[in-house]
Amino acid sequence: MFSGLQVIDKVFETMSRRTAQKISRRSFVARIGATLAGAAVLPVLPVARKAQAAEDPGVEWAKRVEAQTKDPRACNYWRYCSSDGYLCSCCGGGPATCPPGSTPSPTSWVGSCLNPDDGKMYLIAYRDCCGKDSCAQCGCLGTAGEMPTYRPQLNNDIIWCFGGSSMVYHCSSAAIVGQI
């Protein structure tokens, strides 16, 4: 009679012997090598890089709203991940240009959004257009990376017309500042 431990020992011995007979040591080393090299290459691939950046609120927003790059008159246009207000694109301007009669605020806050076309993050300046009554078209609310009002530099509930000639808010624009 075998004891329990001896049975286990026997089973593993048989398994190892069979394995040793079937595969060569060289193929084992080759596989380990391939696995290690693969592990080193994987994080370089765009998919892996995106996965690492998954914590970013801009990335989270882009996934949730299915961000797109073709219609700046829709709330899910990629640059609006932190935009809170009326889209200048719906008010006679563009995503980064003010409608006639309004002027861009000299001050803004800077956030970052994911461009779904190239999978890269871009810094976006949220610059309000000021000096004309509220446009009241295409109200959108993006809050990626926004901070509470006690961190006003990174808050979009306040009107960003500081330093301009008028504090009257018209619409929100979103200009690309650079790629990060």
Residues known to be catalytic: 109, 128
Separation CA 157–CA 137 (nearest Å): 17
Interface residues for another protein in 117-146 (CB under 8 A)? 117-118, 122-123, 125
Rg (CA), the chain: 28
Nearest-approach distance from CB 141 to another protein, in angstroms? 20
Q: Residue 83: which of 34, 41, 45, 140 has the closest Cα?
A: 140
DSSP 17-56: HHHHHHS-HHHHHHHHHHHHHHHHHGGGSHHHHHHHGGGS
Residue 65 found at the interface with another protein (CB under 8 A): no
Other residues' Cβ atoms within 10 Å of the Cβ of residue 113: 28
Among 82, 83, 115, 156, binds another protein (CB under 8 A): 115
Interface residues for another protein in 17-36 (CB under 8 A)? none
Closest CB to another protein among 75 and 123? 123
Pairing of strands 139-141, 109-115: unpaired
Site string for another protein, 92-111 (x = CB under 8 A): --xxxx--------xxxxxx
Query: Which residues sit at the interface with another protein, rule CB under 8 A?
Result: 69-70, 78, 94-97, 106-112, 115, 117-118, 122-123, 125, 151, 153, 162-164, 167, 175-180
